[in-house]
Amino acid sequence: MIGFTSTPTLGVLPDGKTWKLVNDLEYETGYGVIKIPAGFETDFASIPRFFRVVASPATGKHRLAAILHDSLYTDRIFSRGLCDWYFRDAMIRDGVPLWLAWIMWASVRIGGGGHFKANSTK
């Protein structure tokens, strides 16, 4: 089955914006499994405040895809384009409406380059 094969437990950190995985999160790609280890920290999605009416960072159907995307940008195992493609694919598989998945994907394609490059030193 392509998609998430585990359900994460998350805990919020004292800053109220960052969350930490309590257990591993796994995503089956069809070519293998991407494992996001317990302890990984995420802000889910950097969504501009005016757009949060449509997509809340921590509660929307896109939140597991956002954790996956944060992890892929941090680990830099794949190209930026493939990281963004997995983000879009995971959102669609988790029931995010196509129009919203496309907007969120286009947003990371347009604005995510700086975050991807910033993680190149990690």
Domain boundaries, the chain: 3-121
91 token code pair: 């959102």
Q: Report if pTM > 0.85.
A: no
**Cα-Cα end-to-end distance for the chain:** 31
Q: For 3, which DSSP code?
A: E
For residue 68, the tally of other CB atoms under 10 A from its CB is 23
Query: pLDDT, tens digit, for every residue of 48-96?
Result: 444 444 444 445 788 899 999 999 999 888 999 999 999 999 999 999 9
pLDDT-derived band at 1 (thresholds 50, 70, 90) equals: confident
**Per-residue pLDDT for 102 more than 50?**
yes
Alpha helices in the chain (DSSP H): 63-75, 80-93, 98-111, 113-118
pLDDT-derived band at 26 (thresholds 50, 70, 90) equals: very high
pLDDT-derived band at 11 (thresholds 50, 70, 90) equals: very high
**Main-chain phi, psi angles of 27, to 5 degrees:** -125, 120
